[in-house]
């Protein structure tokens, strides 16, 4: 069997301005992710560690170190991540980053949500157990970006189900998480400079405009406009409709057209 990968890349030319990814079927029938890079391609497993390895018999190094920390805690002994440990964990975290970036462009938001949650767990673990402050900061500085990507994934999954309320709730949670990060480092006054936070704030505003509104909310908006224009006769008519709808809702009767 030839080891030349040129036939595999035929017709899939590298474009430096695009993230080029695809899902293929492996020889065993399982799904694999491929990312086109300038000198060839990266191939990643969909599940488990992206390179398919099982370091120390665990799904990933993070699980290995988490198990070691729990053993140390049970033995009431110290557990500290060395700079070498952190270097290994950073290399592994980059693998998951490449996979969730690929999955995002494939619109496989379930994979993105899984891998971003995993890397956020990694950051928290290193911040808690790394011996050197520089290692803790090296990991944690990526937290706003990964929070943003996780939020985009879970909110997109909600939007696929047309659940705008859940999507906005996820975005609010992401906004709060980034603000906690800024507070952790005394950077609350620099919210405007945090591109990840500003993206989520803008996205939330856009979703609120796009969100389908029920009959009560539509009437409430019309009422506000009528009052602002001092059209009190129209306002009274709208208010009467509102009261009837609210009364019907309070008695458990279905409101036709509600979303």
Tens of pLDDT along 88-110?
Answer: 999 999 999 999 999 999 999 99
Q: What is the pLDDT of residues 148-177, one digit of tens each?
A: 999 999 999 999 998 988 999 999 999 999
Where does the chain show beta strands of DSSP type E? 21-25, 31-37, 40-45
pTM beyond 0.75: yes
**Per-domain residue ranges of the chain:** 60-210, 215-250
What DSSP string describes 92-145?
HHHHHHHHHHHHHHTT-HHHHHHHHHHHHHHHHHHHHHBSSHHHHHHHHTTHHH
């Amino acid at each position: 069997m030839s080891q030349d990968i040129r036939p595999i890349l035929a017709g899939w030319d590298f474009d430096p301005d695009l993230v080029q990814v695809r899902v293929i079927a492996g020889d065993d029938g399982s799904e694999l992710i491929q990312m086109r890079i300038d000198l060839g391609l990266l191939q990643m497993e969909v599940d488990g560690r992206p390179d398919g390895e099982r370091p120390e018999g665990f799904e990933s190094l993070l699980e290995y170190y988490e198990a070691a920390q729990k053993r140390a805690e049970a033995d009431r002994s110290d557990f500290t991540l060395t700079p070498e440990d952190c270097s290994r964990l950073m290399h592994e975290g980059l693998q998951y980053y490449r996979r969730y970036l690929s999955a995002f462009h494939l619109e496989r938001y379930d994979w993105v949500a899984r891998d971003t949650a995993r890397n956020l767990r990694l950051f928290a673990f290193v911040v808690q157990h790394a011996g050197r402050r520089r290692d803790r900061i090296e990991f944690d500085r990526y937290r706003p970006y990964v929070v943003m990507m996780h939020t985009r994934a879970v909110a997109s999954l909600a939007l696929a189900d047309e659940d705008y309320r859940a999507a906005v709730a996820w975005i609010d949670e992401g906004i709060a998480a980034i603000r906690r990060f800024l507070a952790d480092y005394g950077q609350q006054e620099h919210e405007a400079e945090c591109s990840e936070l500003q993206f989520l704030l803008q996205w939330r505003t856009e979703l609120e405009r796009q969100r389908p509104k029920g009959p009560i909310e539509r009437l409430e908006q019309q009422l506000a406009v009528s009052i602002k224009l001092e059209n009190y006769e129209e306002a009274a008519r709208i208010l009467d409709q509102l009261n009837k709808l609210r009364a019907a809702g309070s008695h458990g009767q279905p409101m036709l057209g509600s979303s």
